[in-house]
Structure 1
Amino acid sequence: MRVQPVAEQVWMFVGDDHESVATAFIDGDDALLVDALGRTDDALRLRQLLCEERGKTVRAIVATHCMSDHMAALPLFPQALRIAQRHYRHTFLHQNRREDAYYLEPQLVFDHAMSLRWGAHELRLLHNPGKTLDHISVDVPSADLVCAGDNIVGRIVYLSRADPMALRAAILRLREFGRGSVIGGHIGCFPAVVLDQALHYLDRLRDTVVGIRASATSRQADARIAAIPIEACLAPQVQALAFERDWHARNLEAIVAQSVFALDAAMALREARA
């Protein structure tokens, strides 16, 4: 596990499983977690490092979204207050790989926004649906950072079953916060330019797929889409990480299986004929 301080009394933990991230905000001997890692082994290591070695007690856990690869530590801290957006159950039930053993009902749910003071920082929890219906952003002005969850995956995005335009809108809202650092749901912490890089990837992927669908038969289009290299979509000067390559491949699978961007291609063709 990788542990990194990212601001005053803010520590980031990156697990081995899917490089899932948990961020700890510290108030004396108490800790609040944003997200809770992806596997029990990682969660146990987090508890050792945070609680046993640093003497902190986890009092609250905020979910950026309720998918299993961010919930593994919940059963280890059953007394912690669990906070989520109201549509948490929809997200949990509609994920690709559900792990019911990690599921605990949140005790505090909200609709649009809520704020809480934790030590030196005010955490602003804002509903920002993109990757999932329940997605939130955790804006922390005093630490000059925002926790983005899975609305970005490194310098790219992961479509899965999301509406790409909802993802785009979520990233634009993240950019409006103007924070210097962005903590993703995977990989770690990035400078703010990561949001522009993720938008570039999403837009180039869309444009490439729309172009293919407009100029090829369905079968030909599927084969060409499956072969789109990540380099064709990355922002200038960005070199793909192994994790990003893996999830780009998953994006291509989702695009073919779900006919993602087919509506965009049909609209582009309609406009060209008008």
Structure 2
Amino acid sequence: MLMFVGDDHESVATAFIAGDDVLLVDSLGSQEDARRLQSSLCGEMGKTVRIVAATHFMSDHIAGMRLFDEATTIAHRHHRHTFLSQNRQVDAFYREPQVLFDGDLRLRWGRHELHFLHNPGRTLDHISVDVPSADLVCAGDNIVGNTVYVSKADPTLIRGAVKRMRQLGRGTVVGGHMGRFPPAVLDNALHYLDRLQLAVLRIRIDVAMPDVNGHIAAIAIEDCLAPGIEPSAFEREWHQHNLEAIVAQSTFSLDAALAVRRERA
């Protein structure tokens, strides 16, 4: 197994190699990154990419799908919903998947059996790729390092997706961005989400309406991270994106309203 991290959004592609054949899980976020991936696998190593599977159908993870035009493509059946609902849609990267599945899919590749598990969280089409024989799971964007990205998603779905991956008990977690992590990254991501939600709820309940958005925008990532975790520049950047999304989409407003209702009951 090889892992590639591109320059664009630090997107990750994971290559499972069986002889001269390669199965890719995700294919990076730009044509430049995808061409370097192709040059490394096909040019330098002499391999042929036979399958390209997507953990989810966002443009920053599928740039290589059209580049490896002879490869079979795999995605969840809700892939179009994700592609059309993303913030940064790149139509030039879109390639119709040849194999669609709904629940789970198992695929033997060399000495490994890959379990493609529908695990909706960050997106409705999200897939976790569990590889027991390699003691790893590909998490896609259900985590962003030691954090999560809420964007337009339901945070409850993200929390459930991370917990399902944690139940697998794998020793390595490959993120959709940044690279590979020890299993504690899943607990760290849940801690971040829980603390972020708690901070927003306190503001929505206790702060007067004109000041709510300003207080949310000032939430520090350090107040949300698990003890002992130092944020990377990438995690800091996406924490800011979280705060912007929470303000723009009134994220956690329903949870705040329900909390107030329970207190008054």
TM range (shorter): over 0.9
Query: Equivalents in 2 of 1:52, 1:64: separation in Å?
Result: 25
Residue 54, structure 1, aligned to residue 45, structure 2 = yes
User: Distance in 1 between the 2:218 and 2:166 partners?
Assistant: 31
Greater CA deviation, 211-220 or 27-36? 211-220
In the TM superposition, residue 75 of structure 1 has moved relative to its aligned partner by 1.5
Q: Which of 17, 25, 36 is equivalent to 2:27?
A: 36
Match of 1:4 in 2: none
Matches within 5 A, 1:1-274: 10-274=1-265
Q: Alpha-carbon deviation of 1:90? A: 0.4
Cα shift at 1:217: 1.9
**Bigger shift: residues 218-227 or 197-206:** 218-227
- Once residues 89 and 219 of structure 1 are traced to their aligned partners in structure 2, the CA distance between those partners, rounded to angstroms, is 38
What are the ranges of 5 or more consecutive residues in structure 2 without an aligned counterpart? none
Structure-2 separation of matches of 1:165 and 1:85: 20
CA offset digits 1:178-223 (Å, max 9, x no partner) = 0000000000000000000000000000000000100012221110
Q: Distance in 1 between matches of 2:238 and 2:262?
A: 32
Q: Deviations over 1:63-90 (max 9, x none)?
A: 0000000011111111100000010000
Which has the higher mean CA deviation after the structures are superposed, 214-223 or 31-40? 214-223
Describe the SS at the equivalent of 2:228.
coil
**Number of residue pairs aligned between Structure 1 and Structure 2:** 265
AA in 1 matched with 2:163: L
Q: Quick one: distance in 1 between partners of 2:227 and 2:248?
A: 29
Stretches (4+) displaced over 3 A: none
The Cα of 1:177 is off from its aligned counterpart by: 0.5
**Structure 2 SS opposite 1:196:** helix
Gaps of 5+ in 1: 1-9
Amino acid aligned to 2:84: L
Partner of 1:169: helix, strand, or coil?
helix
Per-residue displacement from partner, 1:235-273 (whole Å, max 9, x unpaired)?
A: 000000000000000000000000000011111111111
* CA root-mean-square deviation: 0.5
